Homo-oligomer: A and B are copies of this chain.
Amino acid sequence: MTELNRQITLLSRPAGRPCEANFRLVESPLPTPGQGQVLVRNHWLSLDPYMRGRMMDVRNYAPPVGIGEVMVGDTAGEVILSHHPDFRPGDRVVGALGWQRYGVAEGEALRKVDAERIPLSVHLGAAGMPGVTAYVGLTDLCAAKAGETVVVTAAAGAVGSVAGQLARLRGCTVVGVAGGAAKCRHVVEALGFHDCVDYKAPELRRRLKAALPNGVDCLFDNVGGEVLDALLGRLNPFSRVTLCGAISEVDNPSPHGVRRLLPLIVNRVRVQGFIVGDHRARWAAAIDELSGHVASGRIRCHETVAEGLAAAPAAFLDLLAGRSLGKQLVRLE
């Protein structure tokens, strides 16, 4: 094979907000799989907020990407060459092969997926890591019960959209929070949330109060900051808050934060920060249930697709800025 691999590497660490100049598109020879390894042609690259953290050389739950290294990321693709007994050419697989067209992985690090039942790309979204995040956060940590009121922030995003739809399927009243009227319409009309509050419009606190006449039992938060602060005032006794993300703090030198914690005490609230990678034992059950919901249409998946690896950096910046809707993907050429 004379075909070349194309990769996006981290050229420099951002000082402040990241920009396209922090990334570099490079060409390299195709990698060669060793014993037990598999060569994969990636069709889809998933872009996710956690990647912002990996660009920095700071204490985190995972090591940073080194300068000159390929950016980390989940991918879905097809096996080209296998030196592992469980995989054959043509198998559809999901793995963490990074921002590149071809990658090599240990067989044990790949997950074979069924691209007939649901589209391959959905294994990176509603039936992949973001979906499992929504599932674990809502089911295990929020422990949302039928009849309760669930609020999901960043409701139009990859995780929030699934969390809210799952909560609806569990018999909860679901109110989303999203940025802008168009996203809010999408959340209610396409995703079936009972209501959605636009955090960018004036009088956020008054509108949250109006949308939540019975208070909040579960809060699945992806944003932090002013929105979270306002929601804490609406929490019911013994409510649960799952902290999944804090996008409002990312690249924000003076985040608003949460000004009053007394509501957490008065209402005996449990707040749990979490990383989905700690919950490996739940993945199989989560993906099974989520795949069924997607296949039957009970959970709808919206995707924002950037075309070609070279478009990945700009698409990633769009994601961080809240300009994408649903799951942000890159279709690899």
Stretch at the interface among A23-31, A263-271, A290-298: A263-271
Instruction: Judge whether A171 is part of the interface by a CB distance below 8 angstroms.
Output: no
**For residue A141, which residue of chain B has the nearest CB?**
B270
A267-278 interface bits toward B, Cβ cutoff 8 Å, 1 = contact, 0 = none = 111111111001
Cα–Cα, bound, A59→B236 (Å)? 11
Cα–Cα, bound, A267→B59 (Å)? 10
Q: Contacts A260-B255, A270-B270, A271-B270 given: A265-B237 contact, CB under 8 Å? A: no
**For residue A221, which residue of chain B has the nearest CB?**
B261
Cα–Cα, bound, A232→B275 (Å)? 17
A27-55 interface bits toward B, Cβ cutoff 8 Å, 1 = contact, 0 = none = 00000000000000000000000000100
Stretch at the interface among A119-127, A145-153, A194-202, A242-250: A242-250
Nearest first, the 5 closest Cβ-Cβ pairs linking A and B are A257-B259, A264-B273, A271-B271, A265-B273, A224-B261
Residues of A within 8 A of B (CB): 53, 59-61, 224, 228-229, 237, 243-246, 249-250, 254-262, 264-275, 278
A and B contact pairs by CB, cutoff 8 A, 26 listed: A53-B266, A61-B237, A61-B267, A61-B268, A224-B262, A228-B261, A243-B261, A249-B260, A254-B259, A256-B259, A257-B258, A257-B260, A257-B261, A258-B261, A264-B271, A264-B273, A265-B275, A266-B273, A268-B272, A268-B274, A269-B272, A269-B273, A270-B270, A270-B271, A270-B272, A271-B272
